[in-house]
Structure 1
């Protein structure tokens, strides 16, 4: 392989890579489990188009850009169509399916979704439900995940149920990660290097590099996890 081929392949891979990142950012979902089967297939097709274009010597960089642009436009049009025309959502995105209703399994829906009892139990376990008897409703989402509404006697009691006084909730802030200080987080929380060193010394830590993870929470203070020492 000569230098010109290496340069050409490097350029095509880089542009293809950046193009896929752009498509992902432009059409991204907030969570990976929100991806519908159509989105998943579209991603596979786009990856195949780019891959074939990159390794086919007869295809130049402009074909790669055209393939990415065209497929992105088609996906974007589908997104617009599903937003403006509700009737198209059933076909392109799918509908939720109620697998358990009032505590009873809907076997017709199971058959329609091509699921068996073992697969249903597996889906329930992903929601920390290990017995079907605990479930009042189970809804299979278009993404393939399942949403659970437990029977009232199996629901965890809330502070309101127990007549407990409400307490403020604070978000933990990471100060050290993999032996490096996150200075922006530290300063945003109103602390400085002197305060951090004081907390480290209080926990018998001499070097920041010895810290795997350290966080601070307003109601619980400083928490530190050190690298496990060998031997």
Structure 2
């Protein structure tokens, strides 16, 4: 029994890190741009690894081989779609114009197996609650909808409102869960005493009392305690 737990632990350990390396190697598009092909690939890879780990007759080398072989296939397909533009529509699909000049393209909806309730749901995710707001709508290959609103429903930009330009700076997180992030202090070329002085000025005993704190140039600190 102990040997079974030992072998399972080893297989889980190496399987976990092999999947982690494979995910890093294949790139972020496996998560952020999940096409139907990517979805199927992820399911199959999970099944291969799961079956290999929990089947006592299959050893560690089969687990690693399954991950390596399936990962190679996915990588090969990704290379094809990068090098051969014509292959993208076959392997990744292509966007569909499902709303044109405010008119729903019913044939395109049928072709993509999308009904009106699903379309409304996808539009609401884009903060669009009526078809009348949409000038053009594109069904992307990952199943989301990109929306171009009609002029009178579109959000005005700062340029439209004649708002003077000003620089936009990223917030630098300094404390999270009560722990000082020293890499951020190094990035800002600040000392820990600079941060502790600010906490004292705001009546906070120390970093352990802080849930989250960040700093933005020209705007100062945002500090939230537990």
Corresponding residue SS for 1:224: strand
What is the rounded CA distance, in whole Å, between the counterparts of 2:225 and 2:106 in structure 1?
51
5 Å matches for 1:183-198? 183-198=182-197
Distance 1:193 1:14 in 2: 38
Kindly tell me the number of residue pairs found equivalent between the two proteins.
Answer: 226
Question: How many angstroms apart in 1 are the aligned matches of 2:106 and 2:32?
Answer: 25
Aligned residue number for residue 52 of structure 2: 53
Corresponding residue for residue 171 of structure 1: 170
Runs of 4+ in structure 1 over 4 Å off: none
TM-score by length of 2: 0.95
The alignment status of 1:63 with 2:62, answered yes or no, reads: yes
The alpha carbon displacement at 1:49 in A equals 0.9
Q: What secondary structure, in the 3-state scheme, does the structure 1 residue paired with 2:52 have? A: helix
Deviates more, 1:64-73 or 1:28-37: 28-37
| Separation in structure 1 between the aligned mates of residue 42 and residue 96 of structure 2, nearest angstrom | 25
Q: Cα RMSD over matched residues?
A: 1.4
In the alignment, is the contact (CA less than 8 A) between 1:33 and 1:145 conserved in 2? no
Q: In the alignment, what sits opposite 2:213?
A: 214
Q: Secondary structure at the match of 2:224?
A: strand
Output one character per residue of 1:137-158: Cα deviation in whole Å (capped at 9) or x when no partner: 1111111111111112222222
Q: Aligned with 1:139: secondary structure?
A: strand
Alpha-carbon shift at residue 180 of structure 1 (Å): 0.7
Contact 2:196 2:206 (C-alpha < 8 Å) held by counterparts: no
> Could you tell me which residue of structure 2 aligns to residue 73 of structure 1?
72
Q: 1:174 to 1:69 in 2, by over 3 A?
A: same
Cα distance in 1 for partners of 2:93, 2:20 equals 26
TM, length-normalised to structure 1:
0.93
Unpaired segments of 5 or more residues in structure 2?
none
How far residue 31 of structure 1 moved from its aligned partner, in angstroms, is: 7.1
How does 1:79-158 map onto structure 2 within 5 Å? 79-158=78-157
Provide the rounded CA distance (Å) in 2 between the counterparts of 1:68 and 1:208: 43
Conserved 8 A contact 1:29-1:35 = no
Task: For 1:15 and 1:190, locate their aligned partners in 2 and report how far apart those are by CA, in whole Å.
Answer: 40
Secondary structure in 2 matching 1:100: strand
Distance 1:17 1:145 in 2: 30
Deviation at 1:28, TM superposition (A): 2.4
User: By how many angstroms is 1:30 displaced?
Assistant: 4.3
Write the distance in 2 (CA, Å) between the matches of 1:203 and 1:154. Answer: 43
Distance (whole Å) between structure 1 residues aligned to residue 53 and residue 162 of structure 2 = 64
* CA deviation after TM superposition for structure 1 residue 162, in Å: 2.1
Residue 33 of structure 1 and its aligned partner are, at CA, apart by 3.4
**How many angstroms does 1:95 deviate by?**
0.5
